[in-house]
């Protein structure tokens, strides 16, 4: 049982980010984290901005995603994300700059600031930083 794996695919409109056999995957569902082992019951859920944690044979890694959907069926987990970056692809300086920019906009509170847009940018930057931490 402990050796069982399931297929994980992570794709965005632009590219395939990951494809491989994994033991366990945790995704940021809109109502909280969801964890999947092989043979999980079929499920479709919306995903929030956050971090996907993947456990493979002997190693774990993280992927930052900025929302999307997950489908689980027949020991196959498919994540369709708006954007997704594996932790080794994340430009930490870029994420830190995006975080600082969003925080400045939110702190300024001037009428021309799109608060929701700044909050989403902040969440994306924080997810990327969490994935590389
Ligand atoms: P920024 O303001 O730095 O562009 P953003 O959150 O607005 O950040 P997105 O619109 O989510 O960026 O993503 C645009 C593209 O850039 C996507 O392909 C995404 O994967 C990539 N990307 C964004 N930030 C990073 C990062 N820190 N490291 C690597 N790739 C990134």
Q: Is the CB of 121 under 6 A from ligand 1?
A: yes
Helix (H, G, I), strand (E, B) or coil at 124: helix
Nearest 5°: the CA angle 73, 58, 15 is 50
Q: Contact at 8 Å (CB) between 85 and 63?
A: yes
CATH number at residue 16: 2.60.15.10
Query: Total domain count for the chain?
Result: 2
**pTM of the complete model:** 0.95
Share of the chain above pLDDT 90, in %: 91
Whether residue 75 sits in one domain with residue 116: no
Q: Is the CB of 90 under 6 A from ligand 1?
A: yes
Whether residue 128 sits in one domain with residue 68: no
Residue in 95, 99, 130, 132 to alter for ligand 1 test, most ligand atoms within 8 A of Cβ: 95
pLDDT in tens, 49-101: 999 999 998 899 999 999 999 999 999 999 999 999 999 999 999 999 999 99
Q: Is the CB of 85 under 6 A from ligand 1?
A: yes
Whether residue 104 sits in one domain with residue 41: no
Whether residue 73 sits in one domain with residue 15: yes
Alpha carbon nearest to ligand 1 atom 21, residue: 83
Domain hosting residue 113, numbered range: 92-132
Residue 1 forms part of a structural domain: no
Residue 14 forms part of a structural domain: yes
């Amino acid at each position: 049982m402990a050796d069982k794996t399931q297929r994980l695919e992570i794709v965005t409109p632009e590219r395939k980010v990951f494809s491989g056999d994994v033991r366990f995957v945790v995704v940021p569902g809109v109502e909280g984290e969801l964890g999947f082992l092989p043979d999980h019951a079929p499920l479709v859920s919306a995903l929030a901005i956050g971090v996907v944690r993947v456990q493979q044979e002997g190693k774990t890694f993280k992927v930052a995603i900025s929302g999307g959907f997950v489908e689980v069926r027949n020991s196959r987990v498919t994540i369709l994300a708006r954007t997704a970056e594996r932790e080794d692809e994340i430009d930490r300086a870029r994420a830190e700059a995006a975080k600082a920019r969003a925080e400045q906009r939110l702190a300024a509170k001037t009428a021309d600031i799109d608060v929701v847009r700044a909050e989403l940018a902040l969440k994306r930057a924080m997810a990327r930083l969490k994935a590389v931490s």
